[in-house]
Structure 1
Amino acid sequence: MRYDKAVIVAWAAEKDSSMDRDIWSGLTVFAQIVEAGSFAGAAKRMGVSASALSHAMRALEARLDIRLLNRTTRSLAPTDAGEVLLARLQPAMASVEHVLGELDSVRSRPVGRVRVNAHKPAAAYLILPRLPVFSRDHPDVSIDLTVDDGLVDIVAERFDCGVRHEQALQGDMISVRISNPLTLIFVASPAYLDLHGHPDNPEDLHRHRCISYRHATSGALHRWEFEHNGVRTERAVPASFVTNDVDIMHDAALAGLGICCLLLEQAEAHVRSGDLVEIMPGWAPALPPCHLYYSSKRQPTTAFRAFLEAMRKF
């Protein structure tokens, strides 16, 4: 749930227009801290310093003359009074937020910010190329794009949506396909191939140096996949260079560190120029289509709906 200042101020005005608005700003901070589980987590969400939130909480507790949080160096939790306060406030906040969402839906012009979390290939080759037209058509919408190759809880991290392959989607989400399958290609530099020779098939890779990817969330080394004549297989390969960044993999292949599996979009310009050479043609698999996903429990804003429609076009 979002605890925007506007939501709390609106609720405050409805309940008692004479109330000190600073109290409601403080309650925003209080709710964010409890939801995030820490001052640092809430500060990251709100884009302010943890010390500023600590000051705001002290001011709120002094104004109300009651302690709302029990905090130590190791833990943080609401007091009994804090629990009672949150239990009464949260339904009202949710109700007002729902009303604000309905008001937003009747706007004729999308306005606001859309926060997106996407893995690097989707960010670079799916989202970014569509943004110039989107920005031209919707100048009052700003995009906040976080590139993250790990698995992310977009609700807890307060993103409007995420972009991943379908098998990586969170439960209880609405997903929309935004791409075709992504073509992969095996490549190496001419210098590497002059020194080590050309592999003809995956069986030959045991005598080669390979550039491999380490998954950001699990830390596991990616097993290479192959597809030939409709048969898909996977295997571990000798990993002479490992990274968790697909752009570094691309740079390592250009530097002659070994054989690499890249997106066609990453490699095709270098293949045309001769800086990279395609190897094992007919053995590269395709990645599943990318999906944009968002919470089924959240009221989409007009800005988000406009962004979603732009991403559908492929």
Structure 2
Amino acid sequence: MQNFNELNYFLTLAQAGSFVKAGQLLGISSSALSHSMKNLETRLNLRLFNRTTRNVSLTEAGQQLFEQLLPLYQAINYEVDALNDFLNTPSGLIRINAPAVAAEAVLYPKLKSILSQYPKIRLEIVVDNRWVDIVKEGFDMGVRLGNDVAKEMIAVPISVPLRMALVASPDYLATHGTPKTLDDLYQHSLIGVRISAGHGSEMQWEFKYKKELITFEPKSQLSINNHLRLQAVLDGLGIAWIAHMSVADTIQSGQLVELLPEYAMTYDPLYLYYPSRRGHSNVFKLIVDALKVKAA
């Protein structure tokens, strides 16, 4: 088994041409370097250097060894540098569990540029409107409304307070009329969402007038628990209760009309939550920093 330190010393000395200069590069004394080279020559039973009082030069054997070793050591250094690139370049998988509104209105808009910038990052967003145990189900992060999470979790706000909006298309309102009160909603086609698959209950709509909380139980003609609910409203199929951040652009463009805004309910912001503050990868930290609400 070769002494790789001695071989490295040999290459450095061959390039520097001086025990003093090579010793400075290696961080050892010139006498220690000279002793190491004598050990190498003794083991190989070959003289590798011609020595003078001021400098050294390679013998024929030394030149052959130098030409054979140099590309191999350069390749090793390249591979070690590649490992540094791996550490410095964000890469790896992050799994996030989030409700539809968070995935569509916050996670995707904020994270899409990261995927373009860092192609080695893999992101898996699982849309689920239920409350799940992210640790048990193998997620790195979760998103929920409000910061009421388990004590061992870290909670980070990722949105402004969540204001809700009743919306319909101009075409729908032209055909069916515009509701003037919440009770008028019972006379309209409603587009709702079920909390879970199968026989899960339909999500109640909540409104607030002055300080009074009003709960409305929709009898929806159509229930969809993903982004197609917004498409159904745009297609004129009925009225939906949707997070304002999801429909702000379509309201501004006139594609949708907000109804009864005086009853609009506002909830706490959406929060990203995850266990512990320790041992997170640079990818994890990059995702958290991209999602959190920046100070004004």
Q: What TM-score comes out, normalization by structure 1 length?
A: 0.58
Alpha-carbon offset, residue 224 of structure 1 = 1.0
- Aligned match of 1:233 in 209, 214, 223? 214
Q: Does residue 196 in structure 1 map to residue 176 in structure 2?
A: yes
Equivalent-residue separation in structure 1 for 2:176 and 2:168 (angstroms): 10
- Aligned match of 1:215 in 185, 195, 198? 195
- Kindly report which structure 2 residues correspond to 1:67-82, keeping only aligned pairs within 5 A, or say none: none
Unaligned runs of 5+ in 2: 1-83
Worse-superposed segment, 297-306 or 156-165: 297-306
Alpha-carbon offset, residue 242 of structure 1 = 2.1
Alpha-carbon offset, residue 169 of structure 1 = 4.1
Q: Does residue 292 in structure 1 map to residue 259 in structure 2?
A: no
Name the structure 2 match of 1:47.
Answer: none
User: Structure 1 residues 137 and 154 mapped into 2: Cα distance closer, same or farther (>3 Å)?
Assistant: same
Amino acid at match of 2:231: D
User: Structure 1 residues 275 and 139 mapped into 2: Cα distance closer, same or farther (>3 Å)?
Assistant: closer
Secondary structure in 2 aligned to 1:150? coil
Name the structure 2 match of 1:70.
Answer: none
Equivalent-residue separation in structure 2 for 1:109 and 1:154 (angstroms): 26
Secondary structure in 1 aligned to 2:163? strand
Unaligned runs of 5+ in 1: 1-103
Secondary structure in 2 aligned to 1:234? strand
Equivalent-residue separation in structure 2 for 1:137 and 1:189 (angstroms): 37
Q: Is the 8 A contact 1:110 1:140 kept in 2?
A: yes
Worse-superposed segment, 202-211 or 153-162: 202-211
Equivalent-residue separation in structure 2 for 1:138 and 1:168 (angstroms): 32
Worse-superposed segment, 195-204 or 268-277: 268-277
Secondary structure in 2 aligned to 1:266? helix
Equivalent-residue separation in structure 1 for 2:225 and 2:113 (angstroms): 31
Q: Is the 8 A contact 1:208 1:238 kept in 2?
A: no
Equivalent-residue separation in structure 1 for 2:277 and 2:142 (angstroms): 15
Alpha-carbon offset, residue 207 of structure 1 = 2.2
User: Structure 1 residues 310 and 275 mapped into 2: Cα distance closer, same or farther (>3 Å)?
Assistant: closer
- For each residue in 1:4-58, what CA deviation from the matched residue of structure 2 results, as whole angstroms up to 9, or x when unmatched? xxxxxxxxxxxxxxxxxxxxxxxxxxxxxxxxxxxxxxxxxxxxxxxxxxxxxxx
Q: What TM-score comes out, normalization by structure 2 length?
A: 0.61
User: Structure 1 residues 296 and 127 mapped into 2: Cα distance closer, same or farther (>3 Å)?
Assistant: same
State the superposition RMSD in angstroms. Answer: 2.8
Q: Is the 8 A contact 2:154 2:274 kept in 1?
A: yes
Alpha-carbon offset, residue 297 of structure 1 = 8.7
Amino acid at match of 1:301: S
Identity rate, percent? 33
Name the structure 2 match of 1:310.
Answer: 290
Secondary structure in 2 aligned to 1:239? coil
Equivalent-residue separation in structure 1 for 2:277 and 2:135 (angstroms): 10
- For each residue in 1:253-305, what CA deviation from the matched residue of structure 2 results, as whole angstroms up to 9, or x when unmatched? 12222211122233233334433222112212123211111123973223212
Secondary structure in 1 aligned to 2:173? helix
User: Structure 1 residues 170 and 215 mapped into 2: Cα distance closer, same or farther (>3 Å)?
Assistant: farther
Aligned length: 208
Name the structure 2 match of 1:51.
Answer: none
Secondary structure in 1 aligned to 2:106? helix
Name the structure 2 match of 1:164.
Answer: 144
Name the structure 1 match of 2:132.
Answer: 152
- For each residue in 1:60-100, what CA deviation from the matched residue of structure 2 results, as whole angstroms up to 9, or x when unmatched? xxxxxxxxxxxxxxxxxxxxxxxxxxxxxxxxxxxxxxxxx
Secondary structure in 2 aligned to 1:270? helix
Q: Does residue 180 in structure 1 map to residue 180 in structure 2?
A: no
Secondary structure in 2 aligned to 1:194? helix
User: Structure 1 residues 271 and 171 mapped into 2: Cα distance closer, same or farther (>3 Å)?
Assistant: same
**Misfit runs of 4+, over 6 Å:** none
Secondary structure in 1 aligned to 2:221? strand
